[in-house]
Amino acid sequence: MKTDELREKYLDFFVSKGHTRRPSDVLVPRSDPSVLFTPAGMNQFKDHFLGRCKLDFTRATTCQKCLRTGDIENVGRTAYHHTFFEMLGNFSFGDYFKRDAIAWAWEFLTRKEWLGLDPERLSVTVYLDDDEAAEIWARDIKLPPAKIRRLDEDENFWPASAPSQGPDGVCGPCSEIYYHPAGGQSVEIWNLVFTQFNRVGTPPNNLRPLPSKNIDTGMGLERTAAVLQGVETNFHIDILRPIVAAAAEVCGLDYDPASDSGRRLRRITDHVRACTFAIHENVRPGANKENYVIRRLLRRAVLDGHQIGLREPFLHRLVPAVAEMMGKPYPELGETVERVASVIRDEEKRFFSSIDDGLARIESILKTIRRENRNEVLGREAADVYTTHGVPPELFESLAAEHNVAFDWEGFRREMEHHGVLSGGGVVVDVFSSDPLDGLAKVLPATRFLGYETSEAEAKVVALLARRELCDQVDELAHDEPVTVVLDQTPFYGESGGQVGDIGALVGGGVEFDVIDTQKQRGFVLHRGHLRRGQLKLGGVLTARVDTERRQGIRRAHSATHLLHFALQKHLGEHAQQQGSKVDRDWLRFDFRNPQAVTPAELATIEREVNERVALGAAIEWSELPIADARRAGAMMLFGEKYPDIVRMVSMGGFSRELCGGTHLDSTGQVGLFKIVGEESVAAGIRRITAHTGAAAVRTVQEQEALLRELSQLLKATPADLPQRVSAIMKEARELKKQAGAAPQAPQASVEQLLATAEDVGGTKLVVAEVPGANAGVLRQQIDQLRKKAAPIAVLLATREADKVLLVAGISRDLEAQGVSAIEWVRSPASVVGGSGGGRADMAQAGGKHPDRLPQALTEARDAARRLLAAGGRV
Ligand code: ATP
Ligand code: MG
């Protein structure tokens, strides 16, 4: 059975059992801080399991895109582990329980019209104490006792070992289904989790039955396909084998499954698939969190290619194969092949440029370790390899492991923290953590948001958090650290979708609470701030008052952001899609895709377009509608963004439609003025525009005007003449610099050479010479040096420039004291070349228009010197 068919069969089967088919959640759930990547099918239903949201259905089935970094080391080595894989699942929220879950799993696996697996080849495990499940397998399904194994809490409980080790919260036993192929390796294909307890504290008697029991199952799509297709590893199923083959081709190898390179090809296949899905959802390789995971996967695959012998980027060439193989369920991958490939190529290039040095460094470190009889890579060594050569520590660790050398993670982290570059790479797969908000989430509904309609409302305090603990009251004196207040409803906007949180006050009944920030988590709006007066109490009623002036500035910036997005798409093209944004009071930052810098002319057009839309005073409206309708209406949607079934669509005058939860103006006209203040690069292919709105935009324009005025006054030019004036000044400065700077670098005739030509005129040295290629500055300097070296001395130097000639004459102080004048001297030869001169008595200069007459001029200079010196009494 083909994998695509298996996926559909599973979903069809559970639809036939009354389940609602739901789409996969995104791979990177940005709304859930407890995980970097979706690790299982159940994650998107956390709130359903906790009864925290309205249940439109109590049975659901999905095929979920998952990524588990915990399995990285297994990839390529075991037959059945991937990082990215698909998990089929069926879920019950307080509806059916163990009996149906087990019966349906068996029916689907063994019935001819479904998978038709041989029951003889299946076995199951149950949790040690779970008699109920064991009995269903034995009595209802009629499995022989030998096929039902009872395992401990570390194997058959979810979360693993929860009863003894926690965490507190929802948990339950599970039952795994294994397949045993003829002569092959057994494989766990399906795990049925029976969440029936709430764990409270340590054993004994810490597992309380939940009032409403849930089912959460996960079947590995690739593993089950491998079983059905009778292949020995997941990598040989119909949707993966062609990617392995493409990898082999790109690497110039024949795929030999048992070889070392076979293992590397499988790893390359896995990692490029994971990277393709993640980058498609706009996760770029980077230094932190999910970005780091992708960098690590990508570099690991590149390292495999390198060790096969490749020296050029290759991984990106596999993206089309991935998009094709995964195209049936995920046709959207086809739309981003080029972008994904180019992101991968850039990262590959970067890594290839440092990989040889990195590996050489690792080799030398390992050599040192052997020499020093150590058995561990020091944190310092690993940190150095990572920061200078970009080799991820995990790669170093596995290279070291091949030499039986351990890796000091503790030391590595310390070292990185010391450098301030800790990467936060690990994945927290702790689904129900012990965050106090999670506890709250079980008992309280999400905060009702009133901020679209009003900026002030009465509300009840439903939770108080101080020092990360829930409390019943907060007193005035205990307010040095910020306190968090949760209300049943609020006009305060909690930071999300790029829009900053509101500030303001909670007042009433003697309470004055300054809200300094508002956040949104787990559906709650968290008002963070300081209690100035009174006492906060659970159940107390307060008036929540948003700082409306600031909020209005935020609304202007947010509506302008949509206008900017519209203008970018119109003038740069549809590729100019939003990559991120930050919206603050009359200030916005917008990141979007564009291959190169936006030119000043384009920026001007975009700014004009936005301001024209502002001047239109178009109505801004919003409505809530099913996601499919919004798509039909042409609302912009982004890959990797999770949208609920009912979305909020913000439209402006029929030209802009975006899905957005932010607070907006009533009319585009209220933006007032939109002024771009910056354009820059944030990453390869991503640009950032920063802009101001409203009063801030006016202020920006006024400041620029004031600056212009000041410049005009300084430079004595009208603003319109400024460019010309400044370029003239710059030209002058350049020339002066040239003159001043040229002399020491290029003496055309050395001072010694000149001195050697001196003739003696009654005890005074006389130097008259042409210095080709010099300028006035050079000549003056040479004269100065000659005067220092020999006195009394009279020097006249000349140089020719195209159609001009330059003469500089200088005499030593003693001659000047005797009444000899350089001005007088220079005039005689100057008259020969058609010029006249001027300057000081000890140094004078003249220009002439007849360079051809220079030789005669120099003869005249000598004669004139003799005359003057004689007159001065020297001869
Ligand atoms: P294993 O012990 O084999 O790693 P698991 O106990 O971690 O599996 P579960 O968390 O129960 O697996 O996930 C449910 C199902 O998802 C498994 O039965 C298996 O079929 C599949 N699965 C889990 N991890 C992977 C993986 N890394 N690659 C492919 N399939 C997986
Ligand atoms: Mg596992």
How far are the Cα atoms of 568, 590, 655, 858 from residue 564, in angstroms, in the given order? 6, 8, 12, 72
CA 80 / ligand 1 centre spacing (Å)? 8
Residues 459, 244: Cα–Cα separation, whole Å: 59
- Cβ of 190 closer than 6 Å to ligand 1, yes or no, is yes
CA 577 / ligand 2 centre spacing (Å)? 37
Q: Which atom of ligand 1 is nearest to the CA of 174?
A: 11
- Bond prior to 144 in cis (omega within 30° of 0): no
Residue 93 has pLDDT above 80, yes or no: yes
Render pLDDT for 592-606 as a digit per residue (tens, 0 to 9).
999 999 999 999 999
Considering the entire predicted model, what is its pTM? 0.67
Nearest of 401, 398, 362 to residue 381 by alpha carbon: 362
Q: What is the mean pLDDT of the chain?
A: 90
Q: Is 271 within 8 Å of 297 (Cβ atoms)?
A: yes
Q: What is the number of alpha carbons within 13 Å of residue 683 lying toward its C-beta?
A: 16
Residues 575, 568: Cα–Cα separation, whole Å: 9
Residues 528, 515: Cα–Cα separation, whole Å: 6
CA 330 / ligand 1 centre spacing (Å)? 22
CA 220 / ligand 1 centre spacing (Å)? 6
Residue 413 has pLDDT above 90, yes or no: no
Residues 352, 356: Cα–Cα separation, whole Å: 7
Range from 68-82, 193-207, 284-298, 654-668 that averages highest in pLDDT? 654-668
**What is the signed CA dihedral for 129, 132, 137, 140, rounded to 10 degrees?**
160
CA 181 / ligand 2 centre spacing (Å)? 20
875 pLDDT band, cuts 50/70/90, is low
DSSP 598: P
- Cβ of 251 closer than 6 Å to ligand 1, yes or no, is no
Nearest of 527, 497, 495 to residue 514 by alpha carbon: 527
DSSP 36: S
Task: Give every CB contact of residue 729 below 8 A, 6+ residues apart in sequence.
Answer: 715
User: What is the best residue among 63, 177, 187, 188 to mutate for testing ligand 1's pocket, by most ligand atoms within 8 Å of CB?
Assistant: 188
User: What is the best residue among 69, 186, 223, 224 to mutate for testing ligand 1's pocket, by most ligand atoms within 8 Å of CB?
Assistant: 223
Q: Decide the pairing of beta strands 483-487 and 524-533.
A: antiparallel
Residues 838, 782: Cα–Cα separation, whole Å: 19
Element (H, E) at 306: helix 289-308
Q: Which residues of 153-167 are buried (b: 16+ CB within 10 A; e: fewer)?
A: beebbbbeebbeebb
The C-alpha angle 476, 481, 486, rounded to 5 degrees, equals: 75
Tokens of 760: 């003696």
- Cβ of 82 closer than 6 Å to ligand 1, yes or no, is yes
Render pLDDT for 276-285 as a digit per residue (tens, 0 to 9).
999 999 998 9
Residues 222, 10: Cα–Cα separation, whole Å: 13
Render pLDDT for 260-307 as a digit per residue (tens, 0 to 9).
899 999 999 999 999 999 999 999 898 788 898 899 899 999 999 998
Beta strands in 118-206 (DSSP E): 122-127, 148-151, 157-158, 169-179, 187-199
Render pLDDT for 211-257 as a digit per residue (tens, 0 to 9).
789 999 999 999 999 999 999 999 999 999 999 999 999 999 999 99
Instruction: Note the ligand closest to the C-alpha atom of 84.
Output: 1
What was the pLDDT predicted at 384?
86
* Secondary structure (3-state) at 782: helix
Task: Give every CB contact of residue 595 below 8 A, 6+ residues apart in sequence.
Answer: 575, 685
Q: What is the largest CA-CA distance in the chain?
A: 138
**What is the signed CA dihedral for 437, 91, 188, 272, rounded to 10 degrees?**
-70
What was the pLDDT predicted at 433?
36
Tokens of 250: 């790109």
DSSP code per residue over 696-753: HHHHHHHHHHHHHHHHHHHHTS-GGGHHHHHHHHHHHHHHHHHHHHHHHH--SS-HHH
**Which of 20-34, 43-57, 399-413, 520-534 has the least mean pLDDT?**
43-57
The C-alpha angle 221, 226, 227, rounded to 5 degrees, equals: 100
492 pLDDT band, cuts 50/70/90, is very high
Residues 718, 24: Cα–Cα separation, whole Å: 63
Nearest of 787, 786, 783, 790 to residue 807 by alpha carbon: 783
User: What is the best residue among 81, 151, 192 to mutate for testing ligand 1's pocket, by most ligand atoms within 8 Å of CB?
Assistant: 81
Q: Is 75 within 8 Å of 82 (Cβ atoms)?
A: yes
Render pLDDT for 815-845 as a digit per residue (tens, 0 to 9).
988 889 999 999 999 999 998 888 899 999 9
Residue 639 has pLDDT above 90, yes or no: no
Q: Is 283 within 8 Å of 36 (Cβ atoms)?
A: no
Tokens of 438: 């999670």
Q: Decide the pairing of beta strands 686-693 and 376-377.
A: unpaired
Q: Which atom of ligand 1 is nearest to the CA of 223?
A: 20
